[in-house]
A = this chain, B = another copy of it.
Amino acid sequence: MEKGTGSPAAGGSCPQKNAEILSSQYGINLFLAGLLLTFAWAVHAVGISKSHLLSYLITLMLIQLLWMLWYLCRSCTQRRLIRDKDTHAGARWLKCGITLFAVITLILDSFKIGYYIDFSNCLSPTEGIFPVTHAAHTILQVYFLWCHAKDIIQSFKTLERFGVIHSVFTNLLLWTNGVLTESKHQLNEHKERLITLGFGNITIVLDDHAPQCNCTTTTLCSIFSQGIYYLYPFNIEYHILASTMLYVLWKNIGRKVEHHQQHKTPFKFHGITVGMIFGLIVLTSTIAVVVVYLIQIGRSKIKSELALTMFYLHAIFVLALMCTAGVVALLIYRLEDRSLDNSKNPARKLDAELLVGTAAGSWLLSWGSILAIICAQAHPKYTWFNLPYSVLVIIEKYIQNLFIIESIHREQEKANDDIKTLRIVTISRGSTLSLTPSYKEIYNGRAARDIGELPCLVSSSICARESDGGGGANEETSQGNSPVMRSASEFSFYSRSSVADNKRRILKNIAAFLFLCNLSLWIPPAFGCRPEYDNGLEEIVFGFEPWIIVVNLAMPFSIFYRMHSAASLFEVNCKT
């Protein structure tokens, strides 16, 4: 009845808030139902089997496929509907990363199909349908993200919201499923090691270890079943990345953006050689340590202890280096006082929240280790390395988060650069009147769009120029009279410029180094180095079952943290 009196904007915003809550609650329920199915499968609930869980996941994926097809068709036919793009969302390197992970996920799917064919006698049909659906889902989703990750949807908002949030939580469930499979595998390996080391007192049951029937082609079977677990970490990263990208898409629906051109900042290898070299050293040494660790652990008590000692010493060294690098970067930031960009940016906000949120996973594990070391009755020598390791893990993430979040909030340096160029010209020529055209050219060209951020520097130099120009009747004489002053200015400028350049180079190197370090530190937990299991200390203090629950809950976030911080540091490197 009163509908007519409302303004159009108001009429639009009310259903939108509703659609937001409606869809998010739908998504949460979808996720919770799936989570409980997964949980039920994990605890071997009566009457719930793996095929129930897989059927649920297949249904969700098919619904998402249909929605994506509808969206793609609609956006092809009605191109004019989606005009706004969020320049911050779906960066190119993020798309490349997700494509890489998706390709490996497709290999994983083909392995699973092969595995199903080999064991088809004793596996339910869902185990064959699942990888096929998953492969189709992966291909279409990557295509969808390449084309539409930057969209700001303005039409059919309610339906779009449901579709996008459905996709977000479908990917999160697939991530949960991957994480659980991986955890079960790790736990089985850990139990096998305990059997080898002769711990008979723990009731050891291997979980979902192998199918109950024989394989048709033996060599292929072992390749498939072994290979799957080396590919899982990439599959896990793929799903979590996809769900964050889709979440940003969801947050952007119906948003109003101010159009400001973002200059593309391509990645350059130039000038980060030192950081790259140190980073590559860390990367190769980490790979070597992981290989040795996985070979040695669980062979015998002495070999295990040696492997653990090696792992801890290496990690302590790397983490100490990373802490130092982070502190240096933060000190440089404290020296130069630049304003922060506080404009609305869902992609960046999510990045910052994910960094702190997922770091909490590994902090939890570290506090567990610290508590265990303090409270344990017996301390074998190698367990003492665990204390500095755990403390450093906490401090390193603390510092690194500060560095990354400050970096992604800093405004682009372009404005300052322009001022410098301007000064070079102004000062080196010495005469103000003669250079006015070139000054104007630069000013109008690049600095104009950043005018809001140069409050005093530019205006003061303009004032200086104008007052010079005003009294510029005796131009020739003043030009002749000031060689000393000029060279002093030149010197002060060049030193300032070179200091700023040096700072920037150091920051770029630090970002590159930390990027490679984070990539390195992703490898050990993702591929099954679990010192939290293997050193035995926490298991004794907390008990076998409780500690395994803590590790399995916290570890996925800890692993994701490394990949996510690496991605953020790549962005920092490009921006600096």
**Distance in Å from the Cβ of A97 to the closest Cβ of chain B?**
25
Query: Would A541 and B394 be within 8 Å (CB), given that A36-B364, A337-B10, A360-B28 are in contact?
Result: no
Chain B CB within 8 A of A32 CB: yes
State how many copies of this chain the complex holds.
2
| Residue A448 at the chain B interface, CB threshold 8 Å | no
Does A499 reach chain B (CB closer than 8 Å)?
yes
Contacts A21-B402, A542-B40 given; does A337 touch B46 at CB 8 Å: no
Contacts of A401 in B (CB 8 A): 21, 25
Across the interface, A14 reaches (CB within 8 A) one of B340, B363, B364, namely B340
- Report Cα–Cα, A35/B360, bound state, in Å: 12
The answer to whether A205 has its CB under 8 Å from any CB of chain B is no
Q: Which of A33, A36, A368, A456 has the most B CB atoms < 10 Å from its CB?
A: A36
- Asked whether, in the complex, the Cβ of A25 is within 8 Å of the Cβ of B356, the reply is yes
Type the 1/0 row for A359-388, where 1 means its CB is closer than 8 Å to any CB of B.
110011001101100011100000000000
Q: Please measure, in the bound complex, the distance between the C-alpha atom of A37 and the C-alpha atom of B32, giving whole angstroms.
A: 28
* Structural contact, A45 and B375, CB atoms closer than 8 A: yes
CA distance A455 to B47 in the complex (A): 61
- Interface SS of chain A: helix
On chain B, the residues within 8 Å of A143 by CB distance are: none
Question: How far does the alpha carbon of A35 sit from the alpha carbon of B40 in the complex, in Å?
Answer: 26
Assess whether B546 is in contact with A367, with CB atoms less than 8 Å apart: no
A13 interface contact, C-beta 8 A: yes
Contact B455 A32 (CB under 8 A): no
CB of B499 within 8 A of CB of A340, answer no
Q: Is the CB–CB distance between A406 and B17 below 8 Å?
A: yes
Select from chain B the residue with minimum beta-carbon distance to A339.
Answer: B10
Among the 9-residue stretches A1-9, A172-180, A236-244, A271-279, the one with 4 or more Cβ atoms under 8 Å from chain B is A1-9
- Is A43 on the interface with B (CB-CB < 8 A)? yes
A10 lies within 8 A of B546 (CB): no
Contact B363 A28 (CB under 8 A): yes
| Cα distance, A550 to B35, chains bound together (Å) | 11
- Say whether A338 faces chain B, with CB atoms less than 8 Å apart: yes
Judge whether A335 is part of the interface by a CB distance below 8 angstroms: yes
Q: Which residues of B lie under 8 Å from residue A371 when comparing CB positions? A: 33, 36-37, 40, 45, 48
Assuming A1-B335, A46-B377, is B402 touching A32 (CB within 8 A)? Answer: no
Q: Number of residues in A with C-beta < 8 Å to the partner?
A: 72
Within the complex, the shortest CB–CB distance from A337 to chain B, in Å, comes to: 3
Q: Is A543 an interface residue (CB 8 A)?
A: yes
Q: Does A18 contact B (CB under 8 A)?
A: yes
Considering only CB atoms, which chain B residue lies closest to A35 in the complex? Answer: B364
Chain B residues whose C-beta falls within 8 Å of the C-beta of A9 in the assembled complex: 339
Contact between chains at B542 and A13 (CB < 8 Å) = no
Q: What is the chain B residue whose CB lies nearest that of A37?
A: B371
Do A18 and B496 touch across chains, with their CB atoms under 8 A apart?
Answer: no
A269 smallest CB distance to B (angstroms): 28
Decide: B5 and A541 in contact? CB cutoff 8 A: no
Per the bound structure, the CA–CA distance linking A409 and B14 in Å amounts to 9
> Inside 8 A of A540's CB, which chain B residues have their CB?
46
Which of the residues B5, B356, B402, B496 comes within 8 Å of A456, measured between beta carbons?
B5
Give the nearest-CB partner of A335 in chain B: B1
Q: Does any Cβ of B come within 8 Å of A39's Cβ?
A: yes
Nearest B residue (CB) for A364 = B32
Within the complex, the shortest CB–CB distance from A375 to chain B, in Å, comes to: 4
**22 A-B pairs in the complex with CB atoms less than 8 angstroms apart:** A3-B337, A5-B457, A6-B337, A9-B339, A10-B339, A10-B340, A14-B333, A17-B409, A18-B406, A21-B356, A25-B356, A25-B398, A28-B363, A32-B363, A33-B367, A33-B370, A36-B364, A37-B371, A46-B375, A46-B377, A47-B376, A47-B377
Other than the given A33-B367, A46-B375, 12 more pairs (CB < 8 A) read A10-B337, A10-B340, A14-B333, A17-B406, A29-B398, A32-B364, A37-B371, A43-B543, A45-B541, A45-B542, A47-B376, A48-B371
